[in-house]
Structure 1
Amino acid sequence: MKQRVTRALMATGLYLIIANTGNFFFGVNKRFDWTTTLWEAAFFFIFIFLLLGYRNNHK
C-alpha cells in the first residue's frame, strides 16, 4: 500500500511538471501557476493509485 501511494505521488508530481511546462510552452498559461492543474493532478493520482492496485491484483 505504501509503495502504491509513493509511486502514485511520484507519477502525479511528474504529471504536474509536464502539464505546467506544456501549458507555458504552448501559451495556455503565460506564467507557471500550479493551481491550474491541481484538480487534474488529484484525479490523475486517484487513477494511477487504482490502476496500480488493479495491476497488482491481476498478475
Structure 2
Amino acid sequence: MKQRIISALLATGLYLIIANIGNFFFGVNRRFDWTTTLWEAAFFFVFIFLLLGYRRNNRK
C-alpha cells in the first residue's frame, strides 16, 4: 500500500510538471500557474493508485 501511494505520487508529480510545461510551451496558459492542472492531477493520482492495485491483484 505504501509503495502504491509513493508510486502514484511520483507519477502525479511528473504529470504536474509535464502538463504545466506543455501548457506554457503551447500557449494554453502564458502564466506559469500550478492550479490550472491541480484537479487533473488529483484525478490522475486516483486513477494511477487504482491501476497499480488492479495490476497487483490480477498477476498470476
In the superposition, the TM-score normalised over structure 1's length comes to 0.99
Matched AA of 1:29: N
The alpha carbon displacement at 1:31 in A equals 1.5
Whole-angstrom CA distance in 2 between matches of 1:28 and 1:53? 34
Share of identical aligned residues, percent?
83
- After TM superposition, the structure 1 = structure 2 runs for residues 1-59 of structure 1, keeping only pairs within 5 Å, are 1-59=1-59
Q: CA RMSD in A?
A: 0.3
Could you tell me which runs of 5 or more consecutive residues in structure 2 were left unpaired when the two chains were aligned.
Answer: none
In the superposition, the TM-score normalised over structure 2's length comes to 0.97
Could you tell me which runs of 5 or more consecutive residues in structure 1 were left unpaired when the two chains were aligned.
Answer: none
Matched AA of 1:20: N
Helix, strand or coil: the match of 2:32? Answer: coil
